[in-house]
Structure formats: structure tokens, C-alpha cells
């Protein structure tokens, strides 16, 4: 189970193109104590796309009766929106990553199992003693295609879960993958080993400028950096504007501050980068 309201969670693990609408795709699946529906989806191919894909979804709604004040609330719902690629190995990679980021990889193997499991958990919990006010839950997972090149696929993963409390638990991440090699693209695969310190130094200068901080201002006041020392975010992606890092809520700031994006232009870090072919999509 995720506990994203704890800022330490973010330190252990940590999401466009022109869309052409060309068709409709839908599927359904049966799950216990709920109903499973699939939204209409469209085949999507952008000008830079090399992998064809269709968006599909799995949605499960609890039929467990809400009690007390919650009788008029929306029912507990679990939903996953995801692209279905024309390459099964890519689909399997994406599914495994979604289950892992959701903290459910050891419990479930498919989106149907994931959503049905969430509903089952609520149905067991939803008793007069456990849920006297009749509060509903929700689990929402959304995957968007951020980049799609022959050797580089980037997906933005959004996870939102609510089981009571002041606000939902929220996690964002980017999946960076090379469909040709079948390998995950890590920061270490892009940055020279002896240049990581320089990369962090450049990133900190940009971060301080964005945050309107002086070069000597403390990063302990109002930020969650360990020991007040700047660090790169756990999740990143490649964009036409540069190497982009995304800090999740609670990773370096309070939840109310939302996400913080940090873009490092390639022109400022070219000498620190390895001659990786995936970078050729963005550096010319």
C-alpha cells in the first residue's frame, strides 16, 4: 500500500505530440463485487510516433452501500487509463512499471486485477465500525505518451489515491524506455560518471534562479532537501527544451506546493553527456 503523504517515500522510488483520432477501441472484464467498464479510446499516431498505440481504460466501481453522511457521495472507483502499443514487449514493460510504482507488483499482474483489488479492499473495509461516515475511496492511474521515437519512449505516469484524510496521495513519474534495445533509460546511461557533480551544480544554479534564491540562501528553510543540500529529483525525462526533472509533492516542498519541474538546457550540459543515441532526437 502506498503511503505518499510521508515525504521519505519520494526518496525511495519514484510523467506530446499531435493527436489524430482514427478509431475507437473498448474492452470489458468481470470483477467481483463491482462492475468493470472501459471508456472509448482512440488510435493515436503523432508526427514523430514510431510505435502505434490505442488508449484504453479499465474502470471498476464498488456496489458496496455507503452509510451515514456518505450515502450521497460518488461510489468508490478505481480506474486506469493506458496506451496499448502494437508491440507486446512494450506493453509488458509498461504494465510492470505501473504495478511497481503503484506498490502492487507483488499482489497483481494486470490492470484488471489492480482495480478489482482496490475495490475489494474497500468493500472489506466498508463496515459501520470502520467507515461510520460512509466515506468513499478512489484510485486513479493515468498514462500519457510524452515522447515516441524509434529508440526512445517516454510515458508520464500519474497516480492518485484517496482512502480518507485531508487530501489524496499523489505520485508522478516518467517511464523512459528504448523499444529497440528493450532497456530502461537511466540517468547513468546518459551522463558521464565523472560529470555528475557538474550536472548537479548546473541544475542547482537553475533551481535557485527559478526559486528566486541567492547563491548562499539556505535550502533547509522551506525545502526538504537532506541536510539542506541540493539534489536532483528521482524522476526525469527528455524534452526538446532540455533534460527535465520532476519533484513530486512532499519530495522537496509541502504538498500544497504541488510538483516542481526543473529543465536543464542541453546547451549547458553537452560536455557532461555521453554520446547516447537517444539524445540525438533532441540535440542537433
Q: For residues 237 and 186, what is the distance between their CA atoms, to the nearest angstrom?
A: 10
pLDDT per residue over 1-22, tens digit each?
343 444 333 333 333 332 322 3
CB within 8 Å of 254: residues ≥ 6 apart: none
The reported pLDDT for the residue numbered 284 is: 78
Kindly report the number of other CB atoms within 10 A of residue 42's CB atom: 15
Contact 251, 233 (CB under 8 A): yes
Q: What is the reported pLDDT for 49? A: 57
Mean pLDDT for all residues in the chain: 85
Average pLDDT of the residues in 232-256: 95
Determine whether domain 193-274 maps to CATH 3.40.980.10: no
What burial class does residue 127 get, using C-beta atoms within 10 Å of its C-beta: 0-12 exposed, 13-18 middle, 19+ buried? exposed
Going from N- to C-terminal start, the domains of the chain cover 7-184, 193-274
Is 15 in contact with 170 (CB distance < 8 Å)?
A: no
Mean pLDDT of the region 190-210: 97
pLDDT at 64: 93
- Please give the Cα distance from 194 to 76 (Å, whole number): 50
**Residues paired with residue 260 on neighbouring β-strands, in sequence order:** 247
pLDDT at 60 over 80: yes
Q: Do residues 259 and 244 lie in contact, with contact meaning Cβ atoms separated by under 8 Å? A: no
pLDDT band at 48 (very low <50, low <70, confident <90, very high): low
Handedness of CA 109, 164, 236, 239 (dihedral sign): positive
Would 7-184 and 193-274 be classified into the same CATH topology? Answer: no
Among 3.50.50.60, 3.30.565.40, 3.40.50.720, 3.40.50.2300, what is the CATH number of 7-184? Answer: 3.30.565.40
pLDDT at 41: 42
Cα distance between residue 69 and residue 136, in whole Å = 11
Q: Which of 34-43, 114-123, 186-195 bottoms out in mean pLDDT, i.e. has the lowest? A: 34-43
Residue 282 exposed, middle or buried by CB count within 10 Å (0-12, 13-18, 19+): middle
Q: Cβ neighbours of residue 138 under 8 Å, at least 6 residues apart?
A: 74, 76, 77, 78, 79, 160, 161, 162, 168
Amino acid at each position: 500500500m502506498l503511503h505518499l503523504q510521508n515525504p521519505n517515500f519520494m526518496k525511495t522510488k519514484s510523467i506530446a505530440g499531435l493527436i489524430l483520432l482514427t478509431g475507437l477501441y473498448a474492452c470489458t472484464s468481470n470483477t467481483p463485487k463491482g462492475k468493470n467498464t472501459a471508456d472509448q479510446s482512440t488510435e493515436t499516431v503523432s508526427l514523430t510516433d514510431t510505435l502505434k498505440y490505442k488508449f484504453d481504460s479499465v474502470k471498476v466501481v464498488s456496489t458496496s452501500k455507503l452509510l451515514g453522511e456518505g450515502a450521497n457521495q460518488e461510489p468508490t472507483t478505481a480506474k486506469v487509463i493506458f496506451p496499448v502499443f502494437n508491440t507486446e514487449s512494450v506493453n509488458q514493460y509498461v504494465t510492470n512499471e505501473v504495478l511497481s510504482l503503484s506498490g502492487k507488483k507483488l499482489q497483481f499482474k494486470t490492470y484488471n486485477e489492480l482495480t478489482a483489488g482496490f475495490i475489494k479492499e474497500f468493500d472489506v473495509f466498508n463496515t459501520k465500525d470502520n467507515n461510520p461516515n460512509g466515506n468513499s475511496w478512489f484510485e486513479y492511474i493515468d498514462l500519457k505518451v510524452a515522447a515516441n521515437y524509434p529508440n526512445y519512449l517516454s510515458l508520464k505516469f500519474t497516480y492518485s489515491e484517496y482512502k480518507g484524510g485531508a487530501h489524496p496521495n499523489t505520485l508522478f513519474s516518467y517511464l523512459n524506455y528504448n523499444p529497440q534495445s528493450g532497456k530502461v533509460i537511466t540517468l547513468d546511461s546518459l551522463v558521464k560518471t565523472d560529470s555528475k557533480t557538474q550536472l548537479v551544480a548546473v541544475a542547482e544554479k537553475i533551481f535557485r534562479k527559478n526559486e528566486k534564491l541567492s547563491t548562499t540562501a539556505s535550502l533547509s528553510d522551506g525545502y526538504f532537501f537532506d541536510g539542506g543540500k541540493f539534489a536532483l529529483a528521482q524522476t526525469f525525462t527528455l524534452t526538446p527544451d532540455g533534460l527535465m526533472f520532476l519533484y513530486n509533492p512532499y519530495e522537496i516542498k509541502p504538498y500544497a506546493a504541488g510538483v516542481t519541474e526543473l529543465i536543464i538546457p542541453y546547451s549547458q550540459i553537452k560536455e557532461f553527456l555521453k554520446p547516447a543515441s537517444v539524445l540525438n532526437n533532441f540535440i542537433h
